[in-house]
Amino acid sequence: MTITLGALLRDQRKGQGLSIAEISDGITSPSSVSRFERGQTELSATKFMQLMRRAAGRLDWPQFELEYSDPQDYMYRSNELIGERRPATEFYALATDYLQRYEKSHWFYDLVFAIIARDYAVTRLGMALPALPATVYPPATHYLVHIQHWQSYDALLAACMQIHCSLTDLHTIVTSMAAPYHNQNQPPEADQTQNMVTRAIMNIVRGMMMRGEFATTRELLPIIDTFPLTDLNQYILRAMDHLMLAFHDDPQMDWQTPLTQITAGLTLLTIQVHPDQVRGDWQKFMTTETGRHE
């Protein structure tokens, strides 16, 4: 007989529950856990957290991760959590508490990114949820950099497009993303992880621009000027370069819009430029008549 996690929860309410380790052998296929979630609508966010806490450190993580390799599982967990229409602050509190207790557990990051991925479902469910606070991103990005959990990373990128953050929040998030790379002794996978940071920055900024959260290139300048003029320059510039390429062939993009002006302007600042030259080049671009990339 297949023992589902849904059945486990019901048994635990009666005081008859097995441990996660004891039932792990009863999970007969990689999709069993997913089926459990799709069939157990009564599972609350609190119960989900409690279950994951008991599971932390007690499963064969490599094997168990394979059972959750489908990105749709993240989507479903997000839907399950937000389906109760609980206050966003409760999600934040649960995730923060889990981080403190099980910092090295995959389940914290799974849950964090399930919460982040709720942005996928916000439109479909017609719910108005605020963004996760910027404090969530440093530990999450640190994990992505070193573990490279690609399904979770995809959820982060998608959420970056929907984050309703201020320019100050953007500074906090981007700085936290770049922090691991300030060390000169970069790991062999530096190129790959730098690309991860680049894509995340690109999506955050693109989402902000598309929502019209700043109207002109000048509004972004003070924020950029506060970024460390070291490796972070490279991430921002490379991100903007990618952004420009992504929109260059779009016939609907007007090269006079703030989006393309910012993109083109930052593209002028190549990643090889000396940090001391960055502000001067940017200011020079800002004083041109059209701000267009010729």
Rounded Cα distance between 196 and 193, Å, is 5
Percentage of the chain exceeding pLDDT 70: 0
> Token match 């469910």: residue?
125
Number of H helices, E strands in the chain: 17, 0
Higher pLDDT, 271 or 228: 228
Amino acid at 36: F
Rounded Cα distance between 176 and 264, Å, is 25
pLDDT at 88 over 50: no
Beta strands in 54-149 (DSSP E): none
- State the pLDDT at residue 289: 36
- State the pLDDT at residue 139: 44
Of 25, 91, 103, 4, give the one whose Cα is nearest residue 57.
Answer: 103
Amino acid at 215: A
Long-range (24+ apart) CB contacts under 8 A made by 24-30 are: 24/59, 24/60, 24/64, 26/1, 26/2, 27/2, 27/3, 27/67, 28/2, 30/66, 30/67, 30/69
Q: What is the pLDDT of residues 261-270, one digit of tens each?
A: 444 444 433 3
**Phi and psi (nearest 5°) for 147?**
-105, -30
Domains of the chain, by residue range, sit at 41-164
**Token output for 278:** 């960055």
Consecutive H or E run containing 118: helix 118-125
- State the pLDDT at residue 97: 52
207 band by pLDDT with thresholds 50, 70 and 90: low
Mean pLDDT computed over 61-69 = 33
Of 87, 75, 82, 89, give the one whose Cα is nearest residue 135.
Answer: 89
pLDDT at 44 over 50: no
Q: What is the pLDDT of residues 95-134, one digit of tens each?
A: 455 445 544 444 444 444 444 444 433 433 444 444 444 4
Find the helix packing angle between 5-13 and 32-39, rounded to 10°.
50
Q: What is the pLDDT of residues 152-206, one digit of tens each?
A: 444 444 444 444 455 555 555 555 555 544 444 554 444 554 555 555 555 555 5
